[in-house]
Amino acid sequence: MSRRAAAALGDGWHVGVVAAVAEETGVLLNVLGVGQGRRFHTGRMAVPSGVTYLVVTPDGTASFDVLVRRYAPAVVVFVGGGGDVAITHEPRGPVRDAVGAFFTAAGEPAPLPGFGGAPSFHVMRGVPGPPPFAPARAPRAWAVVRGDTANAAQALRYLIPYLRSRL
């Protein structure tokens, strides 16, 4: 049985997360509740539509290529990078629909509580555009959650239930 099938028990890895700043991978793991691994960090999150299987990796072409090849997540999300928190996504498909549902439910800009008692912040919608990687290595679907790593990870944490129901 392949690693993907063994770990995800059925419908595979749902969300692959790439830290925009490799040194802040620990922040992502903490906010998403994913345990520490060697190179790839795996975990799961219970959401209303079922369990979401997550795999997190630091930034880098090699990490991204292995993530897509080994785990084949349904969606890859790049998280962090500073600035205001904004969600950018593919022009069409399940991620666009999930982002639309998220903003319909939360408002736009969406006010979210900070993680672990940090101040609240707002999340805006970014303009859909080309993928942030070479098309030859494209995952099935993608999004970018730009912003302070902790706030961006918190925004992803709130977005995941909308993603999961569409994968």
For the chain, the domains span: 3-164
| Structure confidence by residue, pLDDT tens digits, 134-161 | 766 777 889 999 999 999 999 999 999 9
Write a three-state SS string for the chain: CCHHHHHHCCCCCCEEEEECCHHHHHHHHHHHCCCCCCCCEEEEEEECCEEEEEEEEECCHHHHHHHHHHHCCCEEEEECCCCCEEEEECCCCHHHHHHHHHHHHHCCCEEECCHHHCCCEEEEECCCCCCCCCHHHCCCCEEEEECCHHHHHHHHHHHHHHHHCCC
- With tokens 């494209």, the residue in question is 138
What are the pLDDT digits (tens) for 6-55? 444 556 889 999 998 888 899 999 999 998 877 789 999 999 888 889 99
The answer on pLDDT for 110 being more than 70 is yes
Residue 130 confidence (pLDDT): 80
pLDDT of residue 156: 97
pLDDT score for 36: 81
Cα distances (Å, whole numbers) of residue 162 to 5, 66, 121: 23, 26, 19
Q: Model confidence at 113, in pLDDT bands (50, 70, 90)? A: very high
Closest to 14 (Cα-Cα) out of 62, 51, 48? 51
CATH T-level assignment (fold) for domain 3-164: Aminopeptidase (3.40.630)
pLDDT of 135 = 62
The better pLDDT of the pair 13, 129 is held by 13
How high is the pLDDT of residue 21? 86
Q: What percent of the chain has pLDDT over 90?
A: 55
Kindly state the average pLDDT of the residues 102-111: 97
- Name the residue with tokens 């349904």: 74
Is 2 a residue whose pLDDT tops 50?
Answer: no
